[in-house]
Amino acid sequence: MVKLKRLTLPVMLTVGVMGAGSALAGGVDRAAILANTCAGCHGPDGVSTGPATPSIAGLPEEYFIDVMKMFQEGERRNTIMGRIAKGYTDEEIELMAKYFAKLPHRPAAQKFDPVKAKYGKKLHEKYCEKCHEEGGRVADSSGPLAGQWKPYLQFTLDDFINGHSEVDKKMKKKLSKLIRKEGMDGVRAVLEYYASEQK
């Protein structure tokens, strides 16, 4: 599907994209206008109070754009984001991507099993750390896994595993290897580890 790019309105963009405060000398920018419509579901400034909807503060720009496109195209299984993502042009998505990338990710306060988390840390280091660095804290190839809401990560991985969502081939390989060696318990342990990273 070819998306027609919307042009920048000469009259509206008087100020650039800004961070959390989003006010500059009494002005409001278009990126904040767009991004603040998401807060009802994703939380103020993209930090979700859970228990399931993911935080989107601090998602890397490129990943944000990719995932919104995947929602539009139905390549990522979803309950609602397909319906939402289709409401935006490429340019609007880019504006929001820049906006959310600058907002600080705050790890979710959620329950976890410390024993499983400890084992999960080992598994993470073996299978996942290469791309999701520093225990999944570094947001680069995807959003931060550390401190993301556990049910969301579980659903997302389930969809990767069951082939409902498209996923990076190398990532799929590692995930399959983890499951072959450790079963779904291995996946659960890794998720407990990400949930335990609350600092």
Partner 1 sequence: MNMNRRGFIKTSIAGAVGAALYGSHALAAHHGGKKRVVVVGGGIGGATTAKYIKKYDPSIDVTLIEPNPHYYTCFMSNEVLGGHRQMDSIRFDYEGLKKKGIRVVQDTVTDIDAAGQIVRTASGKTYQYDRCVVSPGVDFKYEAIPGYSKAVAESSIPHAWKAGPQTEMLRKQLEAMPDGGTFVMVPPPNPFRCPPGPYERVSQIASYFKEHKPNCKIVILDPKNKFSKFGLFMDGWKRHYGYGTDKSMITWIPADKGGKVIKIDPDTKTVHAEAGTFKADVLNIIPPQKAGAIAFKTGLTKGDWCPVDHMTFESTLKKNIHVVGDSSIASPLPKSGYAANSEAKICAAAIVSLLNGKKMPEPSWVNTCYSIIAPGDGISVAMVYAYENGKIIKVKGSGGLTGKYDPELRKREEMYAHSWFNNITADVFG
Q: Of 158-177, which residues contact ligand HEC (CB under 6 A)? A: 167-168, 170-171, 174-175
For residue 70, which of 172, 140, 165, 144 has the smallest C-alpha distance?
165
Task: Give the H or E element holding residue 131.
Answer: none
Give the one entry of ligand HEC, partner 1, none that residue 193 binds, where binding means its C-beta sits below a cut-off of 5 to 8 angstroms depending on kind: none
Binding test (CB under 6 A) with ligand HEC, winner from 116, 132, 150, 188: 132
Residue 109 contact partner, candidates partner 1, ligand HEC, none, CB within 5 to 8 A by sort of partner: none
Helices (H), the chain: 30-35, 39-42, 61-73, 81-85, 90-102, 114-127, 133-136, 150-161, 169-196
> Which of 8, 14, 37, 49 contacts ligand HEC by CB under 6 A?
37
Q: Which is nearer to ligand HEC, 25 or 82 (CB)?
A: 82
Cα 64–70–76 angle (5° rounding)?
110
Nearer CB in complex with ligand HEC: 5/130? 130
Beta bridge partners of 23: 28
16: CB partners within 8 A, 6+ apart: 29
> Nearest approach, Cβ of 38 to partner 1 (angstroms)?
7
Work out which of 13, 24, 80, 184 binds ligand HEC, going by CB under 6 A: 80
User: Nearest 5 degrees, angle CA 100-CA 50-CA 99?
Assistant: 5
Query: 114-127 vs 169-196: helix axis angle to the nearest 10?
Result: 150
* Closest distance of CB 79 from ligand HEC, Å: 3
Q: Measured from the CB of residue 191, what is the shortest distance to partner 1 in angstroms?
A: 15
84 belongs to the binding site for ligand HEC (CB under 6 A): yes
Residues that bind partner 1 (CB under 8 A): 3-4, 6-7, 9-14, 21-23, 25-30, 32-34, 36-44, 48-53, 79-80, 83-84, 86-89, 92, 149, 151, 155
The 3-state secondary structure of 156-197, one letter per residue: HHHHHHCCCCCCCHHHHHHHHHHHHHHHHHHHHHHHHHHHHC
Nearer to ligand HEC, 143 or 147 (CB): 143
